[in-house]
């Protein structure tokens, strides 16, 4: 049985011997100064590149600062222009409102025409006149007559009225109402 146990153990066969031979590379002996010089030569391109990158970052920082200043100036210019536009719009709105109010108030001509209509109606026995008659009396067109009648009715509310003519329903008469 010993032979069997020994046989099973030796199944791998004899162990190969390691081939260890001395290295053929020569061994260098360097001083610390020599080692420092080799290291400095090896890292000098990296140091140069880092210094170039630092200079680039610094110049980009200056460019960014200049751009920020430009943007700030443009923002200030934009805000001042916007303020001017707002002032222009408010001035324009004020002027437009003044014109609208001016247009709403009757002018001297309209007041004079309204007074002429009032005198004409007062002189008539029936205190009535057709719009066609009034246009001929004043020598104006339909739009100017309507403005004068509007002014007359606004100056004396409840004193004048507009009715349809007796013979033609398309025509209108201005009537001075009794007080």
Residue 76 backbone dihedrals phi, psi, to 5 degrees: -65, -40
Residues 113-164: pLDDT tens digits?
A: 999 999 999 999 998 898 999 999 999 999 999 999 999 988 888 889 998 8
Three-state SS at 22: coil
pLDDT at 25: 75
pLDDT exceeds cutoff 80 at 38: yes
pLDDT band at 8 (very low <50, low <70, confident <90, very high): low
Q: Give me the DSSP letters along 90-118.
A: HHHHHHHHHHHHHHHS--HHHHHHHHHHH
The CATH code for residues 108-176 is 1.10.10.10
């Amino acid at each position: 049985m010993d032979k069997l146990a020994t046989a099973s153990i030796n199944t791998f066969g004899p162990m190969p011997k390691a081939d260890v031979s001395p290295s053929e590379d020569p061994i260098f002996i360097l001083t610390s100064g020599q080692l420092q010089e080799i290291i400095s030569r090896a890292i000098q391109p990296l140091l140069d590149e880092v210094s170039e990158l630092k200079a680039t970052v610094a110049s980009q920082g200056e460019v960014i600062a200049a751009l920020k200043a430009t943007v700030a100036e443009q923002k200030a210019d934009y805000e001042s222009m916007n303020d001017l536009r707002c002032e222009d719009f408010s001035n324009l709105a004020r002027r437009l409102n003044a014109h609208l109010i001016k247009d709403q108030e009757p002018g001297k001509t309209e007041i004079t025409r309204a007074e002429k209509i009032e005198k004409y109606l007062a002189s008539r026995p029936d205190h009535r006149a057709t719009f066609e008659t009034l246009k001929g009396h004043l020598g104006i067109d339909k739009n100017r007559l309507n403005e004068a009648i509007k002014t007359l009715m606004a100056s004396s509310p409840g004193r004048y009225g507009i009715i349809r003519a007796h013979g033609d329903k398309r025509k209108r008469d201005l009537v001075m109402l009794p007080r």
